[in-house]
């Protein structure tokens, strides 16, 4: 018998064996070492239809489609971040050039806690590798509507922030309830900005959610949402810290569960995010995801002591999740979500404090968005940090209407007269980026 992938899949493996946040940080050189051992030992790369790709670094131009890096890209990124993001671009190319049906960017460091404005490292992330990939895909391949399903145990607050005002990206995050885990956000009420209300869906799961709960949420909520949104492409932020062995979270998911989730979700591109049980979980979870994406039978994939270790989900967790899903279905599938209405052209503001846990930076943001019935709306962010930066970031969306473009330009010129340390203009319609 010769193994053959039912679905041709691409693997971009970049373990960054020479990079760590600090010598004893969980985001360390060793993180994907045992995953590599398991993947190699299984002989997965000899399987007909599994193709390994070589990474390439992303460019600052790729980053500027997504982020405002303060003061600039070189100050907040290292080569490792560029290569990790570049690995996602390689995965995207492989899929969109139709060399493979799906691809998995098994890369580090991760990115889903990085927001639109970047002052430093938050939750082990500097730049948002999925968002950089999404904007690259939109620019190079002309794709408009995408869905990002974030299955990392932590709320994908960075990705949520970047697509908060974008009705063409459906962002769904399944995560451990923010009342019990970093970053403390991702509640059901967070559903998107005024121009994109309803395109952000948060599913905060109770601690100890098991295989049953995750798969229930997928079947009953995530798949129907995807079906209704009809994205051209599905991306999975495939964090692996929901695993029952993960040292920094409290969930109860398993390798086979992750494999099943992947086989149900069928993402076009999966991107590794968190997951810090480097010996006991990652080797098996990654094996399961690769096999599921390739359409191989994963019934024998399991942690070596799964039978002894795994405890099925308790009844109260099951009941809690059923109620949660019921509420979310009502809001997002059955018309229960009540949009606030604004006057066309109304400027809506939002003030926020953002904390960069890894780097200890405090950021204060004042955001303005133009409520617009013709486009995604102009955005400006006045951001000041405890490092002494005070910057203005102006964003013109793709297919911006004239009024929004004028508003954005007015904000930008007005900013020049004030005493910002830096001014940025990100024109997504013209694919331009200006830093003053």
Partner 1 sequence: MILGLDVGGTRTDAVVISEKGVVSLSKTPTTEDLLGTIENVLREALVGIDPTQMERAVFSTTLATNAVVQDRLEPTGVFVMAGPGIDPLAFEVGPSYHLIEGILDHQGFEVRPVNRREVEEKIRVLKAQGIDLLAVVGKFSPRNPEHEQTVYEISKGSFGYITLGHRFSGVLNFPRRIATAYLNSALYPVQKRFVESLERILTSKNIHCAKFLLKPDGGTYKLERSVDLGVAAAQSGPAASVMGAICLDGCKGTSLVMDIGGTTTDMAVVVDGTPLLTPIGAQIGPYKTLIRSLLSRSVGIGGDSSIVVEGGLMRIGPTRHGPPMAFGGQYPTPTDAMVALGLLNEGNASKAHIAMKRLGEALGIADIREVSLRVLKTMAGLIKTYALQFIEEINSRPVYTIHEVLYEKRLEPDSLVIIGGPAAQLAVYLSEVFGLPYRVPKLADVANAVGAAVSKVTAEVSVYADTQKGALVIPELEYQERIPYTFREEEALEKGREALLRLAAYLGAEEGQEIQITERQIFNMVRGFYRTGQNMRIKLGLKPGILSSMEVLR
Q: What residue ranges bind partner 1 (CB under 8 A)?
A: 1-3, 13-19, 23-26, 28-30, 33-34, 36-38, 40-44, 46, 52-57, 79-80, 83, 247, 279, 283-284, 287, 291, 296-297, 299-306
Active site residue 113: yes
CB of 182 to partner 1, least distance (A): 15
Catalytic residue among 112, 113, 119, 268: 113
Cα–Cα distance for residue pair 315/202, rounded to 1 Å: 22
What is the signed CA dihedral for 35, 36, 37, 42, rounded to 10 degrees? 90
Residue linked to tokens 């994907």: 32
Answer for the pair 115, 361: CB distance below 8 angstroms, yes or no.
no
Strand, coil or helix: what is 195? coil
What is the length of the chain? 436
Residue 304 interface partner, choices partner 1, Zn ion, none, CB cut-off 5-8 Å depending on type: partner 1
3-class secondary-structure state, position 327: helix
How does strand 102-107 pair with strand 4-14? parallel
Q: How far is the CB of 48 from partner 1 (least distance, A)?
A: 11
Residue 301 contact, options partner 1, Zn ion, none, Cβ 5-8 Å cut-off depending on partner type: partner 1
Q: Closer CB to partner 1, residue 157 or residue 211?
A: 211
Nearer to Zn ion, 101 or 150 (CB): 150
Residue closer to partner 1, measured from CB, 39 or 234: 39
Query: Residue 404 touches which of partner 1, Zn ion, none (CB < 5 to 8 A by kind)?
Result: Zn ion
Report the SS3 class of residue 364. Answer: strand
By CB under 5 A, name the binding residues for Zn ion. Answer: 152-154, 239, 241, 274, 372, 374-375, 401, 404
Of 233 and 401, which CB lies nearer to Zn ion in the complex structure?
401
How many Å apart are CA 3 and CA 297, to the nearest integer? 10
Closest C-alpha to 55, from 254, 271, 345, 335: 271
Nearest distance from C-beta of residue 307 to partner 1, angstroms:
11
Partner whose footprint covers residue 295, from Zn ion, partner 1, none (CB < 5 to 8 Å by kind)? none
Rounded least distance, CB 16 to partner 1, Å: 6
Does residue 365 contact residue 381 with C-beta atoms inside 8 Å? Answer: yes
CA dist 301 and 137 (Å) reads 33
Query: Hey, which residues does 234 pair with through a beta bridge?
Result: 147
Quote the tokens at residue 75: 């100050």
Measured from the CB of residue 381, what is the shortest distance to partner 1 in angstroms?
Answer: 31
**Quick one: what does residue 386 bind among Zn ion, partner 1, none, with the CB cut-off 5 to 8 Å set by partner type?**
none
Distances (CA, A) of 90 to 11, 310, 385: 9, 36, 34
Smallest separation (angstroms) from partner 1 to the CB of 330: 40
How big is the CA angle at 58 (ends 54 and 60), to the nearest 5 degrees?
Answer: 165
Spatial distance between the Cα atoms of 102 and 234, rounded to a whole number of angstroms: 10
Q: How far is the CB of 154 from Zn ion (least distance, A)?
A: 4
The helix (H) or strand (E) run that includes residue 421 is none
Give the one entry of partner 1, Zn ion, none that residue 152 binds, where binding means its C-beta sits below a cut-off of 5 to 8 angstroms depending on kind.
Answer: Zn ion
Which residue, 224 or 304, has its beta carbon nearer to partner 1? Answer: 304
Nearer to partner 1, 87 or 192 (CB): 87
| Rounded distance between C-alpha atoms, residue 262 and residue 326, angstroms | 23
Our CB check for Zn ion shows the closer of 44 and 375 to be 375
Query: Which residues belong to the active site?
Result: 113
């Amino acid at each position: 018998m010769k193994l053959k992938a039912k679905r041709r899949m691409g693997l971009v493996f970049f373990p960054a064996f020479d990079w760590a946040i600090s010598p004893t940080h969980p985001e360390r050189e060793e993180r994907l070492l045992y995953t590599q051992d398991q993947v190699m030992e299984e002989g997965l790369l000899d399987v007909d239809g599994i193709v390994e790709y070589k990474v390439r670094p992303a460019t600052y131009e790729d980053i500027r489609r997504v982020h405002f890096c303060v003061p600039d890209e070189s100050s907040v990124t290292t080569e490792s971040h560029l290569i990790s993001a570049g690995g996602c671009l390689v995965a995207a190319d492989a899929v969109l050039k139709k060399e493979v049906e799906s691809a998995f960017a098994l890369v580090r460091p991760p990115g889903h806690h990085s927001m639109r404005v970047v002052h430093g490292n938050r939750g082990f992330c500097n730049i948002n590798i999925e968002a950089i990939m999404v904007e690259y895909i939109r620019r190079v391949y002309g794709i408009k509507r995408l869905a990002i399903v974030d299955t990392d145990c932590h709320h994908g607050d960075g990705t949520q922030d970047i697509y908060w005002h974008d009705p063409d990206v459906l962002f769904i995050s399944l995560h451990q309830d923010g009342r019990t885990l970093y970053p403390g956000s991702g509640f059901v009420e967070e559903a998107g900005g005024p121009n994109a209300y309803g395109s952000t869906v948060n599913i905060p799961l109770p601690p100890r959610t098991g295989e049953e709960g995750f798969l229930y949420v997928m079947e009953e909520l995530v798949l129907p949402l995807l079906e209704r949104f009809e994205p051209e492409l599905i991306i999975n932020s495939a964090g692996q810290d929901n695993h029952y062995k993960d040292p920094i979270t409290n969930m109860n998911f398993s390798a086979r569960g992750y494999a099943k989730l992947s086989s149900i979700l069928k993402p076009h591109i999966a991107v590794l995010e968190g997951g810090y049980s480097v010996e006991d979980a990652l080797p098996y979870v990654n094996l399961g995801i690769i096999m599921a994406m390739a359409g191989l039978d994963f019934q024998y994939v399991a942690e070596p002591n799964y039978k002894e270790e795994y405890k099925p989900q308790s009844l109260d967790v099951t009941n809690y999740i059923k109620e949660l899903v019921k509420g979310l279905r009502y809001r997002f599938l059955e018309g229960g979500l009540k949009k606030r209405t604004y006057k066309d052209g109304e400027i809506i503001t939002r003030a926020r404090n953002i904390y960069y846990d890894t780097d200890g930076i405090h950021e204060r943001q004042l955001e303005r968005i133009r409520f617009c019935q013709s486009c995604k709306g102009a955005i400006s962010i006045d951001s000041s940090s405890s490092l002494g930066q005070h910057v203005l970031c102006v964003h013109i969306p793709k297919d911006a209407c004239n009024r929004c473009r004028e508003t954005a330009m007015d904000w930008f010129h007005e900013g020049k007269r004030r005493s910002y340390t830096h001014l940025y203009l990100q024109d997504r319609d013209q694919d331009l980026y200006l830093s003053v």
